[in-house]
Amino acid sequence: MSSDWDAARPLEDASLHASSQTLASLSSPAYWRALAAATTAASPGGPLRCDDAAAQAAAAPVRLPAHRLHDLREQVNRAGVAQATPQELCLPHVAALARGVEGVLRAGWPASFVIMYDETWALIEALREVMAASTGNAVNMDVLAWLVDPRRGDAGFSPHRDRQPDDAAATFRGDGSPLYATAWVALTDADPCNSCLYVVPSYADPGYLEGDPEDEDAPDPLARALSTKESYQHIRALPTPAGGAALFTHRIIHWGSRGRPGHPVPRVSLSFGCADDAYEAPYFDGSHLPFPPLRLRLALACAQQLIYHERFLATARQLTLFHDAFKAQAGDFDPGYAKKVRAEFLGALKDHEARKRSGGGGKAGGAPAPAGPNGGGAAAKAEPQHQQQRAAAGRKRGAAAAAAAAAAAEQPAAEAAPAKRGRATRAAKPAAREDSSPATAVKGAAAKSGRKQPSAAAKAKGKGKGKQRRGEGGGEGGGSGGDDEDDEGEGGDGLMRALEEARAAAAARKKAGSSAGGGGDGGGDGSGSDGELVDAALEEMLDAAAGSDGSGFDLQDDYED
């Protein structure tokens, strides 16, 4: 990629910009082909392709010698990380995909929308057998693309782990191989000048297998690993030339550095997760690989943006579009993943409302946020290790509160108006709030703290539910119809109705208070401002969405660099 890279450069054809697209246009390969022609025509091999039979027929897995695969597996098992060179992998479409990331950014989409193109899936297919042999895991569709531009002062995310299970040791097999691992592929050279990865090897990290203490006053996991001056010498930089890959487990502490100011070439990368089904189910059925149909690619791209909404700011219009695109295909996704997407959609709306009230942007219909450190808007920083620990503790403290909120949310609208349900939710949470802040209580209720190993019964229940949803027809089928009705209420029209009712109730009280001589934002009854009512409605529905999953798929911290 040349030094003239500029993801903010306007498209010559403004009709291709994200702000002009609809769900119908995004669902057509014609749009993505036109965008590729406008942005990647100069790439090696020509424009990126979408739903192209010839491109798909050319895909093939990389086959490394058995001794090299054994070596990679030993490194992953002993240190938690291994690297493979561009020369041995010979991955396809690397330079073209780097340009593809630039192209989707120029069009106003997050970098991860590069998964709409066949070349992304061809690259994943190329590494599939390498990941299976070196980690024992299969592609689970947790795909993301990133961009770090040192000219903007960008940096990768701060030190973190990708998963925080309750029992860390149980997420490894007897030979030390992980039940979850990530393949991180450099699409441009990644080095200290433009941000490369750094890791603390597993043998230097006491929390890698033991787990991290959840006490609020416990030391940060990174501080535990780097407790002496000598321990800093364990830190390993992972400079990776374009086309090379880093393979690492879900428990290794890793981060992205800050590049040298003014360095002209950004770091562009693509990552995808691989998991054992017993630990984390694939987001959709693996039979759709290596080239998922366009409808599933779009649904996945949109779902990933909702799940990672704290790092990729989006307008109200974009959030709605992402939600609608995923909802149209939700029946083809793992029930636990679909539940997580719905919960994160509610969280994204709550954050959007907060930004709008504080004057921080996010106005409906506005232009997308400018490209941030990872090419998808102003990305939030990764949660520090000690906050991950506190979130885990908060999840346990908030379990009872979440159940109470979920029960309140299930009341018919005629029995409890949104404003009353919001107050009931707050009243149901005194125990949680004695020990933690409201934000921590919400995090606890949403269970955004780790991937818990499901019980055998939970696994069976989750698998049964998955089969039922995938087999649903025209709304018949007993309990599955109820699930669909819940989905509507949690993520779509029901949510917006609740918001509108909350706003209307607040406006009516304010008007009544003014006419009666009352004062304050809450009107005459002193029940609080419109913003507080909306917060309560959203918090209640978020708790309800997270508190009654039953699928064996807990919400989790997914901090990928």
- Establish if 382 belongs to a structural domain: no
- 177: pLDDT confidence band, cut at 50, 70 and 90? very high
| pLDDT tens column, 481-492 | 333 333 333 344
Q: Do residues 267 and 403 share a domain?
A: no
pLDDT of residue 335: 96
pLDDT (0 to 100) of residue 314: 84
For the chain, helix (H) and strand (E) counts, in that order, are 21, 8
Domain C-terminal end among 377, 410, 425: 377
Indicate whether 238 pLDDT > 90. yes
Q: Is the pLDDT of residue 500 over 50?
A: yes
pLDDT at 359 (0 to 100): 75
Residues 156 and 27 in one domain: yes
Contact, 327 vs 496, CB < 8 A?
no
At 299, phi and psi to the nearest 5? Answer: -60, -40
Arithmetic mean of pLDDT, 233-246: 98
pLDDT digits (tens, 9 = 90+) for 76-133: 999 999 999 999 999 999 999 999 999 999 999 999 999 999 999 999 999 999 999 9
CATH of the domain at 56: 2.60.120.620
User: Does residue 403 belong to any structural domain of this protein?
Assistant: yes
Q: What is the pLDDT of residue 538?
A: 59
Share of the chain above pLDDT 90, in %: 55
**164 and 557 in contact (C-beta within 8 Å)?**
yes
Residue by residue, DSSP assigns 30-60 as HHHHHHHHHHSTTSTTSS--SS-HHHHHT--
Token pair 């009516």: residue: 508
Residues 30 and 157 in one domain: yes
Which of residues 71 and 548 earns the better pLDDT score? Answer: 71
Per-residue pLDDT at 178 exceeds 50: yes
Q: What percent of the chain has pLDDT over 70?
A: 63
Average pLDDT of span 171-194: 97
Q: What is the pLDDT of residue 353?
A: 83
Same domain, 393 and 272: no
| pLDDT number for residue 344 | 92
pLDDT at 437: 29
Residue 267 lies in a domain: yes
Angstrom distance (rounded) from CA 80 to CA 272: 16
Most confident of 39-48, 148-157, 233-242, 363-372: 233-242
Split into its structural domains, the chain has a count of: 2
At residue 373 the predicted structure's pLDDT band, cuts being 50, 70 and 90, is very low
Mean pLDDT of the chain: 75
- Of 324-338, 358-372, 416-430, 497-511, give the lowest mean pLDDT range: 416-430
pLDDT in the model for residue 10: 94
Phi first, then psi: give them for residue 461, nearest 5 degrees. -65, -45
Residue 448 has pLDDT above 50, yes or no: no
Which of 377, 411, 432 terminates a domain? The answer is: 377
| CA 224, chain centre distance (Å) | 27
The answer to whether residue 319 sits within a structural domain is no
pLDDT score, position 362: 47
Q: Are residues 270 and 401 in the same domain?
A: no
Range with the poorest average pLDDT among 75-84, 286-295, 427-436:
427-436
Q: Tokens in use for 208? A: 């890698």
Cis bond leading into 192, ω under 30°?
no
Q: Both 161 and 280 in a single domain? A: yes
State the residue range of the domain holding 92: 21-294+371-377
**pTM of whole model > 0.85?**
no
- Is residue 535, in this structure, part of any structural domain at all? yes
Q: Has residue 362 been placed in a domain?
A: no
- Residue 312: the pLDDT is 79
pLDDT exceeds 80 at position 455: no
| End-of-domain residue from the set 377, 408, 428 | 377
Q: Tell me, yes or no, whether 85 lies in a domain.
A: yes
Mean pLDDT lowest among 44-58, 181-195, 476-490, 513-527 = 476-490
Domain identity same for 161 and 33: yes
- Predicted local confidence at residue 502, as pLDDT: 57
More confident call, 464 vs 178: 178
pLDDT of residue 417: 33
Do 271 and 406 lie in one domain? The reply is no
Instruction: Calculate Rg over the CA atoms of the chain.
Output: 24
Query: What mean pLDDT comes out for the span 292-317?
Result: 92
In this predicted structure, which of 112-121, 229-238, 240-249, 510-519 has the lowest mean pLDDT? Answer: 510-519
Residue 384 has pLDDT above 50, yes or no: no
The model's confidence at residue 508, banded by pLDDT at 50, 70 and 90, is: low
Residues 6+ apart with CB under 8 A from 165: 171, 211, 450, 451, 452, 453
Could you tell me if 289 and 398 lie in one domain?
Answer: no
Q: Coil, helix or strand for 179?
A: coil
Q: Dihedral sign, CA of 505, 510, 512, 518?
A: positive
Question: Residue 216: what pLDDT?
Answer: 85
- Residue 458, pLDDT > 70, answer no
**pLDDT tens digits, 200-235:** 999 999 999 999 998 888 889 999 999 999 999 999
Q: Is residue 270 part of a domain?
A: yes
